[in-house]
Amino acid sequence: MTTTEQRPRATAETSGTAAAGTGAPDRATRSGGEILIQGVGHVFPSDTGPVEALRDIDLRIAPGEFVSLVGTSGCGKSTLLNIVAGLLSPTRGTVTITPAAQDADARLPRRAYITQDDRLLPWRTAVQNVAFPLELHGVGKRERLARAHELLDRVGLADFAQRRPSELSGGMRQRVSIAQALVYRPAVLLMDEPFGALDAWTRESLHELLLDVQAELGTTTVLVTHDVFEAMGLSDRIITLAPRPGRILREYVLTDFPRPRSHRELQTPHFVEIHEQIRADLGFRT
C-alpha cells in the first residue's frame, strides 16, 4: 500500500528538508493540512529477519494542530515521520494529507521535513541552502534571497549567511535546516529531533519562532522529541509510543493550556503529573 494524497506529490526534495509545493509562496495567512494515519504498520526486511517497526497506528492530526511524538530510541518515530513525509511506503495502512481549503488552487501540497541529520548541500552557502526550495519552484532570485536572509536572521544566523555547512557548527547547521523548512511557509511541518544539538538558549528562541510561525500560518506540526519538557511546552497533544513493535500507548491533550507556556507553568502539579505519567509510559522510574 502507499501513502496517498488528494493532489499530486511533489517531486522536489531539498537538502535538509523534503519540501513540497510550487509557485511563489505568498504572504497571506495560510492554514495547515489534516493528516490522517489509518492502520499503518511497517516491517523492514533485514539479514537477521524482518523487523516490525510499527503496528496498527491510527492517528488524526487536525489542521493547525501541534502534536509531539515521544518514545524511546528505536520505537519507530522516524519510520512514522518518513511515512507521513511520503518518503517510505508503509507495509500496511494509509496516510492521507488533506490540504487546507485555501490551497485548492495550488498545484501541490506544501510539506516540509526536518530530518534527524541535516542534509544541507555542502557546496552551497547557508543562504543558498535556505533559498534552495524556493529556487526549485521558480521563485525569482531577489525574492528568494530576501526571504532566505529574513529566515536566517530569525534563527540567529544573519552573520553566517555566506558560510558553507563545513564552516558551521552542528547546531548552526540544524538552524539552517530549520530556516530552510520555514522559508516555504509549509502547511505541514514534520520535525525529527530538530533541537537535539542546540544549547538551551538557542532552543528556547527557536521554540518561540515555531510558535510564532504556527500562530501566523496555522501550520500543522508533528515534532519527534526525546525531551518531555519540550513536548509539554509546545504541544496541543503529546502521543507516547511503545517499542517493538512501535505502537501508540497514550495521548495527553494540552489544548486548555495557552502558549507560550513558561518554565514555571511546566513545574505546576498538572504538568508534573503529566511528566511523571509520560516517564512511566516510557518505562522510567518516576
Residue 51 touching ligand ATP (CB under 6 A): yes
Among 44, 169, 272, 273, binds ligand ATP (CB under 6 A): 44
53 binds, among Mg ion, ligand ATP, none (CB under 5 to 8 A by kind): ligand ATP
CB of 179 to ligand ATP, least distance (A): 23
Nearer to ligand ATP, 125 or 177 (CB): 177
Residues 16-75 contacting Mg ion, CB under 5 A: none
CA distance 131 to 150: 11
Among 31, 38, 72, 78, binds Mg ion (CB under 5 A): 78
Cα 280 to Cα 7, 56, 133, 242, 285: the distances in Å are 41, 22, 41, 11, 6
Nearer to ligand ATP, 75 or 100 (CB): 75
Backbone angles phi, psi at 38, to 5 degrees: -125, 120
Piece in contact with ligand ATP (CB under 6 A), picked from 3-11, 74-82, 106-114, 167-175: 74-82
CB of 90 to ligand ATP, least distance (A): 12
State the number of binding residues for ligand ATP (CB under 6 A). Answer: 13
In sequence order, the 6+-apart residues with CB closer than 8 A to the CB of 157 are 126, 172, 175, 176, 179
Set of cell numbers at residue 101: 481549503
CB 61 within 8 A of CB 67: yes
Piece in contact with ligand ATP (CB under 6 A), picked from 20-28, 72-80, 168-176, 198-206: 72-80
Residue 53 touching ligand ATP (CB under 6 A): yes
Please name which of 163, 207, 216 lies closest in space to residue 185, comparing C-alpha atoms.
Answer: 216
The 3-state DSSP class for residue 154 equals: helix
Nearer to Mg ion, 78 or 94 (CB): 78
CB 75 within 8 A of CB 192: no
Q: What is the DSSP letter of 8?
A: P
Residues 97-116 contacting ligand ATP, CB under 6 A: 116
Cα 141 to Cα 128, 136, 148, 184, 259: the distances in Å are 10, 11, 10, 15, 36
Residue 147 touching ligand ATP (CB under 6 A): no
Residue 11 touching ligand ATP (CB under 6 A): no
Among 16, 32, 76, 218, binds ligand ATP (CB under 6 A): 76
Cα 259 to Cα 27, 247, 272: the distances in Å are 24, 28, 17
Residue 84 touching ligand ATP (CB under 6 A): no
Nearer to ligand ATP, 165 or 246 (CB): 246
Nearer to ligand ATP, 11 or 46 (CB): 46
Instruction: Give the chain's radius of gyration (CA, Å).
Output: 18
Interaction site with ligand ATP (CB under 6 A): 44, 46, 51, 53, 71, 73-79, 116
Interaction site with Mg ion (CB under 5 A): 78
